[in-house]
Structure 1
Amino acid sequence: MRKELLVEWEVFGRRQVYGSPWVEVWLDDVEIPGVGRIDHHVVRYPRASTTAVVTNEAGEFLLLYRHRFITGRWGWEVPAGWAEPGEEPAAAIVREVEEETGWRPGRVELLTEYDAMAGISDAHFRAYHVTDCTRIGEPEDVSEATSVEWIPEGEVVKLLTSGGVPDGPSHAALSYYLGPHRLARRS
């Protein structure tokens, strides 16, 4: 029988190095079992992060094609954004889908939640499945994307496997929807 060893870091204190409404950088004074006491950088996000896999009855996915200046890459993404202070994450994703795509969500269902970079950040994402959308006009936020398109499922799978969806939260949400979400609904 294998003896379990619980490895839990102990936090003795923390101090903020930088802060803004979007991101904070902290130094946490921690003790790592078997290593000792160190200062560990932690990136904290003061607002809830949300993404949405938007589908229609034809089996298409509503995606945005955009450039990310930090990585210098173009790619397809799902609608996403932060909840405003006091705003429920589900309400935030409804607002974000509308602003970024020009489509008003009808039904919103939580798909999954995950910690994107648990070793260094408290970035916690909620991914939703959005259906029954109604076209209300052009996207309000023209800085979000070069184009907004309904893409067939087969093409989305090709984009995922070829690097056409380089954004982590988009990749995670689409992959979860196409994999575990579907498998769980079959059983």
Structure 2
Amino acid sequence: MHHPEENPWKITSEKTIYNNPWINVTEYQVINPSGNPGIYGKVHFKNLAIGVIPLDEELNTYLVGQYRFALDQYSWEMPEGGSPEGTDPLESAKRELLEETGLKADQWVEIQRMHLSNSVSDELCIIYLARDLTQFEAEPEDTEQLIVNKVPFAEVYRMVCSGEITDSVTVAAVLKVQLLLLENRL
């Protein structure tokens, strides 16, 4: 598809509003595409988002349950975490899978790259499919109080379709894996 190469937004000034080890929030004074002045806020994530959908030979996967502070509710999702800038995302994915589930995988395939909220942030997510799994001891971070459940993939797909699973990374990964299964590409 053809699209314009030049950015129609003009930045006249910028100011850091908030900064911590994980995010930076910047407010921009702009001239918008229609030529009018305005403001735009951007959240920059200092880590890549990483998701791992482990899938065993019997087509079971592993869901991680935890209470999500920002949502003020419990969430079931696939193993997820961050990959600090300058770190190999695949190595981060391997670390997250082991930390959260105790699993190691011999086969890794990147199945999706996506922006999580491109209207207000630049957060990029990389999703991996992990196969040929071996169970070890989980090593959760001290901020994580996790429950791990081995669930048939078909049940997880049903949970996504019914809205029981709402985590965007998990939803995207499950839909992608379902498509790959339907197309006999796994």
Instruction: Check the 8 A contact 1:64/1:145 in 2, yes or no.
Output: no
Instruction: Spell out, residue by residue over 1:117-161, the C-alpha distance to the aligned partner (whole angstroms, 9 max, x if none).
Output: 111100110111111111112444365354212211221122112
Partner of 1:56: 56
Structure 1 residue ranges (4+ consecutive) displaced by more than 6 angstroms after TM superposition: 4-7
Query: Which residues in structure 2 correspond to 1:70-85 (within 5 Å)?
Result: 70-85=70-85
Taking the aligned partners of 1:142 and 1:156, their CA distance within structure 2 comes to 27
Query: Which residues in structure 2 correspond to 1:30-179 (within 5 Å)?
Result: 30-34=30-34, 36-141=36-141, 143-179=143-179
Change (3 A) 1:7 1:21: closer
Q: What secondary structure, in the 3-state scheme, does the structure 2 residue paired with 1:43 have? A: strand
Q: TM-score normalized by structure 1?
A: 0.86
Alpha-carbon RMSD across the aligned residues, in angstroms, is 2.2
Gaps of 5+ in 1: none
Q: What secondary structure, in the 3-state scheme, does the structure 1 residue paired with 2:28 have? A: strand
Q: TM-score normalized by structure 2?
A: 0.87
Instruction: Spell out, residue by residue over 1:89-137, the C-alpha distance to the aligned partner (whole angstroms, 9 max, x if none).
Output: 1110100000011111221111110111111100110111111111112
Aligned residue pair count = 182
Partner of 1:18: 18
Instruction: Check the 8 A contact 2:46/2:84 in 1, yes or no.
Output: no
Taking the aligned partners of 1:103 and 1:111, their CA distance within structure 2 comes to 19
Change (3 A) 1:142 1:107: farther
Taking the aligned partners of 1:72 and 1:125, their CA distance within structure 2 comes to 23
Instruction: Check the 8 A contact 1:24/1:43 in 2, yes or no.
Output: yes
